[in-house]
Amino acid sequence: MARTARVGVDVGGTFTDLVLHDPARNLVRTGKLLTTPDDPSRAIIEGTLRVLREAGLSPSDLHSMVHGTTLVTNTIIERTGAKVGLLTTAGFRDSIEIGREIRYDLYDLFLEAPPSLVPRHLRREIPERMDAEGNELLPLDEEAVRREARDLVEREGVEALAIAFLHSYRDPRHERRAGEVVRALYPDLALTLSAEVAPEIREYERSATACANAYVQPRMRRYLDRLEAELARIGFGGRLYVMLSGGGIAAVREAKLFPIRLIESGPAAGAMAAAFLARLAGLDRVVSYDMGGTTAKMCLVENGAPDHKFEFEAGRVRRFVKGSGLPLKVSVVDMIEIGAGGGSIARVEGGSGLMKVGPRSAGASPGPVCYGLGGAEPTVTDADLLLGRLDPAWFLGGEMALDTERVRRAFADGVAARLGLPVVDTALGVQRIVDETMAAATRMHLAEKGRDPRRYTLVAFGGAGPVHAWNLARLLKIRCVVVPLGAGVASALGFLVAPPATDLVRSLVGRLERLDWGRVGALFAEMAAEGRALLEEAGADPAAITLRPSAEMRHVGQGFEIPVPLPSLAPSGADLPAIRESFFASYRARFGRTVEEVPIEALTWRLACAAPGRDIRLGAAGATGPGSLAPRGHRPVTFEGHGALTCPVLDRYALRPGMEFRGPALVEERESTCVVGPDTRVVVDAHLNLVLELP
């Protein structure tokens, strides 16, 4: 019998989420357990065995597992990666430290720059030089490559090596030959060529990306090797896939070669889940809202697809300040991340005497006070418990009892005492601060894109998302909120519905009227062959693969470019009018005007390769047995401006399509609780989504 069951696993900062789907049996099972930060594979194996046991399956029944991890981004943030050496063009040793020479805070006299991943004594200069047209000005000194590589590996003890030569995006011959020389000396050394990981213009960003890839590569290889070994030990015989930051599924081999492409792996899955849910519900304008234990992530989803961008800042000195991190050239889902999760810690600042919430989080260890695992500082989850939003006896379906009295004492002896406020008022303040923080960040994100939140639907998920969605929507003046079945583990669902996909890039700079279109066509042919091979390795049907070409263009003299769709994979001079009009349309959409008399130049050529994702019918899989709107109990919940209101507690798994009720109410499922405020109408749609219609 063919194996059809698949598991999606999302390892977050606080919880590890799992979704099992078996289309042959129309079966969906979910799981949620605390992450094991010392070895994330422990929680993965334990959670996988649990959901399989609940489904009556064994590991040998699994077709595949799709996995996302925060290991890459945590490695860079915590600076726990490999000892890395860098070989670069003579005279450019310090380019990754000089950077853009831009201050991210003009008025901070003690500004801390993001530290380089490669200290200066491990950066070595190699005599060689290519010009911007790909002409060799100085041959590669292969003996210098051997000498410096030997010194770095044998005397300095580097675990990984990056090679980033000037203009290698235009012609990578020198980088490739240097790589061959190094591999001949050290076949097992982790090696990254900038022309392979980020073959595009801009020296600093390309070099920084190569160094970051080398920095995380040994740790990611060990992690994936260990995970594969542990899965084999329990009898898993299927394929292991990973989620890329751009929202596509890739094979493990690609993850081991280019682990930097997984830097936003987990958050991307949430956006893909929101896009899938939006398509099911027929929504074309959605704000994806994923609030977990550590952060909240917001992403714009339009016409069934999340926004993308091709650069990302990692390891920021100030986590939420743009420009304070390492710029990476990777394809990522365009989202904002806010230090506002269930584990975000509330405190009173000594100087101002004001209460702040986040961005510091209690994480999985020690966790919020209510977990009873050693946490002593009250968090958002603790405030939600005090306000009645969470059931202390039914958290995680009753697997984890929450200690309300411990939380009450922590508030009374801490932030409430310092503020001179009652405990409940302090907890309401925590909720208000965290919700206002998320609302302000969402408004800014949409305003930067010229969007009005009132025209959008909020799709809320994550363990804490449905708890705060109603109030967040109220602050944003959003009238409709959609909460899916299994909202607490929806990111893991994103792994199962995401398509095999990858984004490829090459740089070739030139004015449109002067471009060598034959060379452009050759670049696209090269990318198409590479993309098809990667997607077939990731399990895609070759006949179903689609290729979408685009270019990044700008007016001559401008500093940065915009993405422009192209009419074909082999554009020619005859397509020039259509390409120009496509550029003007993209420019007008972004800036509200066009400047038709200024010449246009292209810098970078991109190819988005994708195959269809899987379809999961949540409504059919979740609805079994008779439904009921009868509450299984009542609980007082404190709402700002309304005081304590007695709310019926509804069983999420007893709701059926077409049912309606009004707030205030609580809808509980194993991994999350949906809080419905007063005067709100709720309809259960055909896919078992809760559709909240705010007044």
- Span 302-315, pLDDT tens digits: 988 898 889 888 87
Residue 357 CB partners (closer than 8 Å, separation 6+) = 340, 344, 345, 346, 347, 380, 430, 433, 434, 437
Please give the Cα distance from 594 to 580 (Å, whole number): 11
Under 8 Å between Cβ of 561 and 552: yes
Angstrom distance (rounded) from CA 502 to CA 482: 29
pLDDT of residue 694: 95
Which tokens in the block code for residue 567? Answer: 């009419």
Residue 21: name the closest of 537, 574, 485, 667 by CA: 485
CA distances from 549 to 22, 143, 195, 605 (A): 35, 40, 20, 8
DSSP E strands, 190-315: 190-193, 239-243, 249-251, 285-291, 296-302, 305-306, 308-309, 312-314
Number of CB atoms found within 10 A of residue 422's CB: 12
* pLDDT tens figures, 337-366: 888 888 899 999 877 789 999 888 887 778
Which of 281, 289, 301, 675 shows the shortest CA–CA distance to 490? 289
Residue 517, CA distances (Å) to 511, 599, 652 in order: 11, 17, 58
Tokens 């936003």 belong to 264
Q: Which run of H or E residues covers position 272?
A: helix 265-281
- Pairwise CA distance, residues 308 & 224, whole Å: 26
DSSP category for residue 379: B
What is the rounded radius of gyration, in angstroms, for the C-alpha atoms of the chain? 26
Chunked into runs of 10 residues, the chain (695 residues) has average pLDDT values of 82 84 84 83 92 91 88 82 96 91 83 89 97 93 97 97 96 96 96 95 94 96 93 92 90 92 88 91 93 89 89 79 86 88 89 85 85 91 96 86 94 93 95 95 89 94 94 96 91 88 92 93 95 90 94 92 93 92 91 88 94 72 69 94 94 93 94 95 94 95
The candidate with the shortest Cα–Cα distance to 683, out of 665, 671, 673, is 665
- DSSP per-residue string spanning 94-130: THHHHTT---SSTT-TTPPPPPPSS-GGGEEEE--EE
> How far is Cα 656 from Cα 626, in angstroms, rounded to an integer?
8
Name the nearest CA neighbour of 409 among 375, 440, 451, 445.
375
Amino acid letter, 462: G
- DSSP β-ladder status, 633-639 and 660-662: unpaired
Q: What is the pLDDT of residue 293?
A: 82
For residue 586, give the amino acid letter.
S
Return the amino acid letter for 216: V
Kindly report the pTM of this predicted structure.
0.87
Q: Is 607 helix (H, G, I), strand (E, B) or coil?
A: strand
Phi, psi of 468 (to 5 degrees): -105, -5
Under 8 Å between Cβ of 325 and 117: no
* Coil/strand/helix, residue 90: coil
Q: How far apart are CA 475 and CA 478, in angstroms?
A: 8
Sign of CA dihedral 179, 181, 184, 189: negative
Distance of alpha carbon 186 from alpha carbon 199, whole angstroms: 24
Q: Give CA–CA dist 510/183, Å, rounded.
A: 35
pLDDT at residue 106 in the model: 84
How crowded is residue 472: how many other Cβ atoms within 10 Å of its Cβ? 25
pLDDT at position 621, please?
Answer: 47
| Residue 179 · residue 216 · CB < 8 Å | no
The number of helices, as runs of H, and strands, as runs of E, in the chain is 18, 35
d(CA 515, CA 108): 45
Which CA distances in Å does 631 have to 190, 628, 634, 642, 668? 58, 8, 7, 22, 10
DSSP states of 472-508: HHHHHT--EEEE-TTGGGHHHHHHHHPPBEEEEEEEE
| Site of tokens 């303040």 | 429
Q: Where are the beta strands (DSSP E) in 355-485?
A: 355-361, 457-461, 480-483
Q: In whole angstroms, what is the distance from residue 567 CA to residue 539 CA?
A: 28
Q: How many C-beta atoms lie closer than 10 Å to residue 52's C-beta?
A: 23
The gap between the terminal CA atoms of the chain, to the nearest Å, is 52
Q: Name the CA dihedral angle for 563, 568, 571, 573, rounded to a multiple of 10 degrees.
A: -100
Residue 552 tokens read as 């990044």
Q: How far apart are CA 209 and CA 188, in angstroms?
A: 21
Q: What is the dihedral of CA 228, 232, 237, 242, to 10 degrees?
A: -20
480, 693 contact by CB (below 8 A): yes
Query: What 3-state class would DSSP assign to 545?
Result: coil
